[in-house]
Amino acid sequence: MTAQYTEEHIRTLDWREHIRRRPGMYIGKLGDGSSRDDGIYILLKEVLDNSVDEFMMGFGKTIEINIHEKCIQVRDYGRGIPLGKMVEAASKMNTGAKYDSKVFKKSVGLNGVGIKAVNALSSKFEIQSIREGKMKSAEFATGELREEAQDSKTELANGTIISFIPDKEMFGNYHYILEYIEVLIKSYIYLNTGLTIVLNGVKYQSKNGLLDLLNENMDNEGLYPIIHLRNGDIELAMTHGNQYTDEYFPFVNGQHTTQGGTHLVAFKEALVRTVRDFYKKDFDPSDIRQSVIVALSIKIEEPIFESQTKTKLGSKDMGPKGPSVRNYINDFLKKDLDDYLHKHPETAEILLKKILESEKERKAISSIKKLARERAKKASLHNKKLRDCRAHYNTKHDRRLETTIFITEGDSASGSITKSRDVETQAVFSLKGKPLNTYGLTKKIVYENEEFNLLQSALNIEDGLDNLRYKNVVIATDADVDGMHIRLLLITFFLQFFPNLVRKGHLYILQTPLFRVRNKKKTHYCYSEEEKGSAIEKLGGNPEITRFKGLGEISPDEFKNFIGKKIRLEPVSLNRSDAVSDLLEFYMGKNTPERQNFIINNLRVEEDLIEA
């Protein structure tokens, strides 16, 4: 029987309840901190946005961040929130100064929403504002005002102090990964020369803007010196490298738009047009853009983003009375980049050589790619190598941000995961035996090797990450020597040909329990010797202990515990100081005395693993 639909079914949620029920609208997703775009980092970013806006308006050159266990405190030295409106600014939706372009021009914060989301999603939220010798403070819990102090005199410098603890009820047993926070901080300082951000006592600042950013994010020197151009509301740093993919760091008003948007589309078009005009040759766009590394920053009045998390720009114009984003960027490259190439013929010659090399390689593998695509299409129809999830075929709701693909080896392991998975959002790709060591091989091998060709096709990453079909790519192998070797071979493949998959935080290792410790009343799954010892102590007596040697030994019913809400994923991440080529040479190249010594010195670890 169809439920009745009457007036009593219409509800109005207050602001805090709406945020807590629909957090995805405000912070993208929740998460436990293992992924760089998890909600706990977005909360910090929302607070930082306001402090950075103060700097951009000329107030406060230093922002201090202190993290102690679960609590984050952010202190800026801007103008401070007007005391009479401070509580409303923290707890009343659509309240803020960002609607007045005279007070905040080309700001990051826009909608008067961000800080309220932080408030509603925090078990404890404290805010203090200091203005001209007076201070006001208030304390909230999950958005509800608990205490509001009267204005008091103070000798502290002007500014705002916000402390918050993300709510465990929303985020679970979360943890901060400082490297992710450092990346966030560096994005701000590179875009705001003169700004100093202090994280737990460590200072971060930049003198050369996007030039510093590109140097920080490149594994090796570019093929030619970085082209660094500034003009009005746009800044560009670019070069070409030896990697197979192009890489972009686009920003709008200091906000890292990780999903790009109209400014990035405009830049890609303008780059092709400018290069073609300069050399007077109709190069294929892919040959021009292959291996390019770009940092691009523009400043727009009243920008429109496609979500509250501001990761994709939707604006078509530079402002209410400004030119289109497309024309502005095109005119900039047409003049400034063209001038640069004319003034630096040695750079122009290197760039031309790179484009011609890319063209030659593309033509050499074009026939192979055609056959490979046909093979992949046929394989997807006639075998069970990829067991896809339903999210991709749901036309009503885009759930790509929730999707995960497990890459596993062997029928028993893939069988257990396939039977245990959430068919809506989790897919499984089965490898047949150990994959090839791709170190030192050209991209031609991706199309010639059936396993890698089908994996590339399943992920849809041939032309970059823009169309990546799964948010999380998870390597799920046995926790033995063979399983670890397969992990290493897969990581090598991704680093060699698709390093951005790692750089952008999409690649993970599935952690599964090594032991099951149980008695008649309770069962503990343990991921280490320490956890096993603790479980034995808790259960007492003489519990049954099972050592899981492979994924296939874990029953599907048990496996549901390990790939559901309590899934443990270890991110595969690179420190910015890690050079991919050096790492691959050391671990996957020919045997060297250095690697032999490394293996000997770490042999004890492997012996412990085998004995466990």
**pLDDT per residue as tens digits for the range 281-321:** 999 999 999 999 999 999 988 888 876 567 788 888 888 88
Helix (H, G, I), strand (E, B) or coil at 7: helix
468, two tokens = 């990546």
Shared-domain flag, residues 94 and 222: no
| Span 465-480, average pLDDT | 88
What are the two backbone dihedrals, phi and then psi, of residue 100, each rounded to the nearest 5 degrees? -100, 100
The per-residue DSSP string of 234-279 comes to: EEEEEEE-SSSS-EEEEEETTEE-TT-BHHHHHHHHHHHHHHHHHH
Question: How many helices and strands, by DSSP H and E, does the chain display?
Answer: 23, 23
The helix/strand/coil state of 33 is coil
User: What tens digit of pLDDT does each residue of 484-515 get?
Assistant: 889 989 999 998 889 889 888 899 999 888 89
Q: What is the percent of the chain with per-residue pLDDT over 70, rounded to a whole number?
A: 86
Of 174, 204, 234, which residue constitutes the final position of a domain?
Answer: 204
Shared-domain flag, residues 159 and 302: no
| Helical axes 580-588 vs 593-601, angle rounded to 10° | 80
Answer yes or no: do 330 and 286 share one domain.
Answer: yes
Count of domains observed in the chain: 3
Q: How far is CA 506 from the centre of its chain?
A: 7
Q: Residues 129, 136: contact at Cβ < 8 Å?
A: yes
Q: Are residues 86 and 102 in the same domain?
A: yes
Please say if the pLDDT value at position 219 is more than 90.
no
Dihedral angle, C-alpha 485, 487, 492, 497, nearest 10 °: 140
pLDDT at 175 over 70: yes
Mark whether 487 and 357 lie in a shared domain.
no
Q: Domain boundary at 361, 392, 422, which?
A: 361
* Confidence at 11, pLDDT banded by 50, 70, 90: low
Mean pLDDT of the residues in the chain: 85
The amino acid at residue 252 is: V
Residue-wise DSSP of 185-252: HHHHHHHSTT-EEEETTEEE--SSTHHHHHHHH-SS--SSPPEEEEETTEEEEEEE-SSSS-EEEEEE
Are 312 and 413 in the same domain? no
Do residues 48 and 192 share a domain? yes
- Look at residue 110 in the predicted model and tell me its pLDDT: 43
If asked whether residues 343 and 395 sit together in one domain, one would say no
Could you read off the pLDDT of 45-73 as tens digits, one per residue?
A: 999 999 998 998 899 999 999 999 899 99
Answer yes or no: is 139 within a domain. yes
Question: Is the sign of the CA dihedral 339, 344, 350, 356 positive or negative?
Answer: positive
Spatial contact of 112 and 99, defined as CB atoms under 8 Å apart: yes
Same domain, 299 and 411: no
Residue 56, in any domain of the structure: yes
Helix (H) or strand (E) run with residue 56 in it: helix 39-56
CATH number of the domain to which 46 belongs: 3.30.565.10
Residue 166 has pLDDT above 90, yes or no: yes
What pLDDT sits at residue 476?
A: 92
CA 92 to CA 82: how far, in whole Å? 15
pLDDT at position 156, please?
93
Residue pLDDT, tens place only, 554-612: 888 888 888 988 888 888 877 654 566 666 766 676 666 666 665 556 554 444 443 43
Residue 74 lies in a domain: yes
pLDDT above 90 for 277: yes
Residue 543 is assigned to a structural domain of this protein: no
Q: Do residue 254 and residue 288 come from a single domain?
A: yes
Q: Residues 235, 280: one domain? A: yes
Is the model more confident about 308 or about 455?
A: 455
3-state secondary structure 411-474: HHHHHHHHHHCCCCCEEEEEECCCCCCCCCCCCHHHHHCHHHHHHHHHHCCCCCHHHCCCCEEE
Range in 70-79, 320-329, 411-420 with the lowest mean pLDDT? 411-420
In a domain? residue 534: no
What pLDDT is stored for residue 593 in this prediction?
67
Q: What is the pLDDT of residue 371?
A: 75
Q: What is the pLDDT of residues 384-414, one digit of tens each?
A: 688 899 887 776 666 777 899 999 987 777 8
Q: Alpha-carbon torsion 443, 444, 445, 446, what sign?
A: positive
Overall average pLDDT of the 510-529 stretch: 90
Answer with the residue of higher pLDDT: 598 or 84: 84
* Domain finish residue from 204, 227, 249: 204
Tell me 560's DSSP state: T
- Largest Cα separation within the chain, whole Å, is 82
Evaluate whether residue 599 is within a structural domain: no
d(CA 387, CA 520): 36
Q: Is the pLDDT score of 98 beyond 50?
A: no
> Given this model, what pLDDT does residue 383 score?
60
Which residue range forms the structural domain that includes residue 409? 383-512+549-587
pLDDT band at 5 (very low <50, low <70, confident <90, very high): low
526 part of a folded domain: no
CATH number of 500's domain: 3.40.50.670
CATH number of the domain bearing residue 255? 3.30.230.10
Contact 514, 479 (CB under 8 A): yes
Residue 103 shares a structural domain with residue 152:
yes
Alpha carbon distances (Å) from 297 to 53, 185, 290, 553: 16, 16, 21, 51
Asked if residue 375 is part of any domain, the answer here is no
